[in-house]
Structure 1
């Protein structure tokens, strides 16, 4: 969604839903990372998705790898200090096979996730895996945990990997490319990658190519619905500002203990399916729907924007959605307590809150919270987030939640007085969330089990 429109929609929904959340379940962030700016001077950097890597022996040396879209990726320590910056890859050169080539897309890092104990040759290593929306590929980094002379991450992606969704570079330039990402290690190592502006998700197998690199191959593509039958007998398709666009997925997370892959279809809701049989549509369940699910709407063409403007008819909302979940449903992450307990966290972007669902008990809704202004500013328009339950020491003895803040404050203006759209990452103590929501905590490290 256009960020200006998204911001206005978020404000209106937050006001509309204030009675639901007012005065309760507010927490504050402990610290924040450096700010980035989505303009030419800021190299068009727009932060997106964090992944928390847990050090196996010294938890205080854990770090956060965080995507910056066109800006590449930052690696931060637990104090938010920059340890490493990785630039996004350059645009590939034009080829004779392209029908047209004015500008090929450069790299654009969208989502990141962690794999522990990947077998590469004779060694078990940890990986940070990133979806590259600009190049329609996945990039794999090795964590250099045993060598203090190296930067935290080294690219070990096998060369000449094929595109995930596109047939050629011309299709890559159209933008229907790799988007959201979740990784999981079961009998093999997989990455689930969604496609921008479609309801498709590719299941990739990551493997050792025998040359000290990690390669991947497509196992299958999951084609989720883009139109939905309603209890009143009608059919509903979410409103889009372009006829080509279909409701996409971004946030995804795997729960191995419960054999579940969770997927957030942004303006539809949250799905779950079987990890062992992800293609079995009989196990696909849309268990949490956004509040506006099924709401009628009108569209009008805006010539200057070259897109449609959607106006929802809230007066005739049929009430088929979940009251706690406001579109877009964005980042997903698991609070993984022992014995399969814990929570699925969902970023309810439309009202700047986080909804919790039980990992057990058929994903029953538990509660919601909002990160408000405190020692640092609060969190708005969150895309990606990740939580770990582990005692990381310092401010995060009961765990850490890192969230993307799409509207970082204080506001910054350039020399001509124009607002520079800024974003960064906020670190929130899970102990504070647990206290506010009266949740039990469990700091057992289950990351490598």
Structure 2
């Protein structure tokens, strides 16, 4: 049985030994003048970018099939049905461009240019996410990097949208994105190669692929291969094959490029390799015979898009936290979304996300709403929020006709660090506030205002072992759901005269990722669901609100390219209603806090999602 030399090298490398071997290279297209080269996806044709000859489509022997005139460097491609989308840098205009290519007709389409940047762009690469959104990453000088939304599916946008800035190494020039693992790979010339999360909603962080402290080494171009990445070291004229093993990257083999003095460009398609020697300007091709271990890829969660978003909050950093939905008793379309700004106070928005009211009362964390509260002789709706400045409950009356909020009083608590809050209103009509502190303590207060002054009577106290926050009460079943951030979700009897016996709903694990944050109930005539913010993986889990609490799956809130609304991530609080609020909210509305506002980058806000889209995404009964 014949075993390839490189496969044997990789087997030995898995035991901790990396050996170098020569890669046999032969000249390719000797008359071609190209600064960058790339294989067409799943095809034998190649692309070249040249300052003199423009973008060229070439056959496997280097004969020109089509040309788009201009002065170009840098190349990346993505398949788009029968078309290929090409990204390159137009040196004359100093702009990145996207252009479609029809290989069957050997023709280029109309170019789409990104706006001119205020920094030199050294390189670029494409990324397609699980929802088929197409992005381009720009790699600039002095550590400047950007991510732009440029299309969806096979269609390019008429106007690209800047999604976010990405801080990159100061000497970066090359990048590649692995769509399957959603990782952006970038070089740092004198240091090594890095991996960044590519998803626009991901936290900005980096993981070393390979680092070195050796002036005789240099980190250059990269090419993706199944299960790994091949990185070029121009100084040693070697290719290094890396594969991810959990959180770490491991080098599996090294290949020397004999006869090349300054290899600069690299492209790989299956077993075929193209490399350019900058010393001579010549191109060479070779064949890789290697097999990589399959890399475990996280399952792709379905995505829904927000169709509205609120104005950004008026404070920087981690500010927006928890929403609540106030339902107008006669005109549901005039309902309001309340939101806390834990650096400022309480905010009220209309259903299009426009800010209507701002009550600067201090650092409010969580908020909840219930109707028909007797405030002296008046009947009002009531919003209650946890106030971290005073470790108290801040109460607000809501005019049932106009929706206007007014301060209605404060209930002190003995909690040292108040955190979450939710309300419970049984059929008998009394109103309870359940507050929790960071030490796990829960305090249940009966709220009343017989003479117009709000007061709270402590009627029950219980505790969980670690930090809680989110909670929501099922008024109909007199049941309370509470989240313990690193443990999971519990249910407990909400009645003040009953023992607080905890029953597990779901534990932190494969489907629910810590921190467990916001909890909300979707209650309709057909079915009741508990919606949980699974902050650790930027998703939302839907389970039955009744035992045995069957899991219906998780989803993410992705970007809405048409409306120019980014997705949601790092979500703290959320709220949902099944009430028909009109327009896109005929089956109800989900509101989630967005911890990372993109497109453009601004202070945090809240995203509004039609519940009908969640139903479709998860195929809810």
Q: TM-score, normalised by structure 1?
A: 0.69
In the TM superposition, what are the counterparts of 1:273-422 in structure 2 within 5 Å?
A: 273-276=492-495, 280-281=499-500, 283-291=501-509, 323-338=510-525, 341-374=527-560, 375=563, 376-410=565-599, 412=601, 422=603
Moved more, 367-376 or 377-386: 367-376
Q: Which has the higher contact order (CA 8 A, sep 6+)?
A: 1
1:153 aligns with 2:398: no
Judge conservation of contact 1:45–1:71 (CA < 8 Å) in 2.
no
In the TM superposition, what are the counterparts of 1:180-191 in structure 2 within 5 Å?
A: 180-186=420-426, 187=428, 188-191=430-433
* Structure 2 CA distance for aligned equivalents of residues 10 and 336 of structure 1: 39
* Structure 1 CA distance for aligned equivalents of residues 552 and 414 of structure 2: 37
In the TM superposition, what are the counterparts of 1:29-108 in structure 2 within 5 Å?
A: 29-36=306-313, 38-39=315-316, 46-88=319-361, 107-108=362-363
Considering fraction of residues, name the structure with more strand: 2
SS of the aligned residue for 1:347 comes to: strand
* Structure 2 CA distance for aligned equivalents of residues 208 and 11 of structure 1: 54
Pick one of 408, 414, 422 that aligns with 1:165: 414
SS of the aligned residue for 1:338 comes to: coil
Segments of structure 2 that go 5 or more residues without pairing to the other structure are: 1-201, 208-245, 248-294
In structure 2, the residue matched to 1:118 is: 373
In structure 2, the residue matched to 1:310 is: none
Judge conservation of contact 1:164–1:218 (CA < 8 Å) in 2.
no
In structure 1, the residue matched to 2:96 is: none
Once the two structures are TM-superposed, the CA of residue 398 in structure 1 deviates from its matched residue by: 1.2
Once the two structures are TM-superposed, the CA of residue 116 in structure 1 deviates from its matched residue by: 1.0
* Structure 1 CA distance for aligned equivalents of residues 515 and 578 of structure 2: 26
Once the two structures are TM-superposed, the CA of residue 261 in structure 1 deviates from its matched residue by: 0.4
In structure 1, the residue matched to 2:277 is: none
SS of the aligned residue for 1:395 comes to: helix
In structure 2, the residue matched to 1:249 is: 468
1:76-135: per-residue Cα shift (whole Å, max 9, x none)?
0001011101102xxxxxxxxxxxxxxxxxx31000001111123343321111110111
In structure 1, the residue matched to 2:386 is: 131
SS of the aligned residue for 1:362 comes to: coil
SS of the aligned residue for 2:604 comes to: strand
1:271 aligns with 2:490: yes
Once the two structures are TM-superposed, the CA of residue 20 in structure 1 deviates from its matched residue by: 4.8
* Structure 2 CA distance for aligned equivalents of residues 389 and 289 of structure 1: 26
In structure 2, the residue matched to 1:93 is: none
In structure 2, the residue matched to 1:298 is: none
SS of the aligned residue for 2:446 comes to: strand
How many residue pairs get aligned? The number is 331
Change (3 A) 1:8 1:395: closer
Considering fraction of residues, name the structure with more helix: 1
In structure 1, the residue matched to 2:449 is: 208
* Structure 1 CA distance for aligned equivalents of residues 531 and 493 of structure 2: 19
Q: TM-score, normalised by structure 2?
A: 0.50
SS of the aligned residue for 1:343 comes to: strand
* Structure 2 CA distance for aligned equivalents of residues 399 and 405 of structure 1: 19
SS of the aligned residue for 1:276 comes to: coil
* Structure 1 CA distance for aligned equivalents of residues 540 and 396 of structure 2: 29
Once the two structures are TM-superposed, the CA of residue 278 in structure 1 deviates from its matched residue by: 7.3
Taking only aligned residues, the RMSD between alpha carbons, in angstroms, comes to: 2.6
Segments of structure 1 that go 5 or more residues without pairing to the other structure are: 1-6, 89-106, 167-175, 227-246, 292-322, 413-419, 441-449
